[in-house]
Amino acid sequence: MSSTALAASETTGIPAPASSAPSDAELAGAACAIGEEQFLPGDYYYCLGTQSYGLQHYGQAQKFFATAASWASKPAQYVLGIMALDGDHQPANRPLAAAWLALASERPQSDFAAASATLDASLTPAERKATDQLLARMRPTYGDATAAVRAEKRYEQGMARLAHLTGPGGHYCMAGITTPADPSMASNPEQCPPIQMMTKAIDQAAVKVFEGWSGHVTVGPLQQVNGVPATHNPG
C-alpha cells in the first residue's frame, strides 16, 4: 500500500482526520531537525517516520513511529493503528489496530476518537478481548499517564538548558534547522535566530504535541527582571 497509511483508507470505513493522504514524495521531503529531539522527541521521531515511509523504508518508519508513540505522539499512534488495520507492510491485525487507535484517542475531544469508535464497534468478542490484553501491555509505555509525563519532563529539561545558554537578547542555533549559509560563520551565534523566536517556535510545537493533555504547561518567553539572569517561567 502507498502512503494511505498516513490517512485512513476509504476501504476500511474508518473516518480520517486528514482530508487526503500525502504522496510518498511529500513524505520523503519532510524536514526533520535533530535538534528538536532534546525538546520534543515525539514530534521529531514522527517526522523521521513519515520521511522514512516516503522513502519506502517501511520497517524503519514503523520503528520511528513506535518511538514517537512512546513520547506521546498521538499522530504516530494513529498511523500505527491504521497500518495494522490495513495490513500496510505487515500482517493485518485488528486488535492491535484497535489498541493503537484507543491510545491515539485517549485525550478529550481527540481528532482520532471517531476512528477508534468506528473500529471498536466492529470488533468481535474475541477481538475485543485481544485488544484489552494488548492495551494492558501497551499503556505503561504509550499511554499518556506515562508517555506524556515523560515527554513533558524532556520538554521542560530542554527548555531549562536553553534558558541557561543565553539571555533574552541572545541567539540559538537548532541542529538541522539553523545552520549559517557561510560555514566560516558557524561559530558566530548571531547568525542564528533570536532566542525569543526559537523559544516561541518550540512552545508552539509543544502545544500541538500535548494538545488535549491537561498536564502540559507552556514555558513562555524569556524574561529578565532587575538584572537577574533570564529564566523560563511557566505560563
- Residue 191 pLDDT > 90: no
- Residue 205 pLDDT > 90: no
- In 3D space, the residue among 128, 54, 114 whose CA is nearest the CA of residue 78 turns out to be 114
The pLDDT of residue 232 is 36
Confidence of residue 190 (pLDDT cuts 50, 70, 90): low
The pLDDT of residue 79 is 96
Q: Specify the DSSP element, H or E, that contains 164.
A: helix 147-165
- Cα-based distances in Å from 134 to 68, 138, 233: 18, 6, 39
**Is pLDDT larger for residue 63 or for residue 160?**
63
Provide the CA 51 distance to its chain's centre, in angstroms. Answer: 13
For residues 83 and 9, give the distance between their C-alpha atoms in angstroms, rounded to a whole number.
10
Rounded to 5 degrees, φ, ψ at 7 are -150, 145
- Residue 186 pLDDT > 70: no
The arithmetic mean of pLDDT across residues 96-112, rounded, is 96
Report helix, strand and coil shares of the chain as percent, to nearest 5.
60, 5, 40
For residues 190 and 173, give the distance between their C-alpha atoms in angstroms, rounded to a whole number.
9
Confidence of residue 233 (pLDDT cuts 50, 70, 90): very low
For residues 57 and 132, give the distance between their C-alpha atoms in angstroms, rounded to a whole number.
30
User: Of 48-57, 173-182, 196-205, which range is least confident?
Assistant: 173-182
Residue linked to cell 486488535: 95
pTM: predicted TM-score of the whole model, two decimal places: 0.78
For residues 148 and 65, give the distance between their C-alpha atoms in angstroms, rounded to a whole number.
15
The pLDDT of residue 83 is 96
Give the helix ranges, DSSP H, for 35-93. Answer: 41-54, 58-70, 74-86
The three three-digit cell numbers of residue 190, written as one number: 548571531
For residues 90 and 59, give the distance between their C-alpha atoms in angstroms, rounded to a whole number.
9
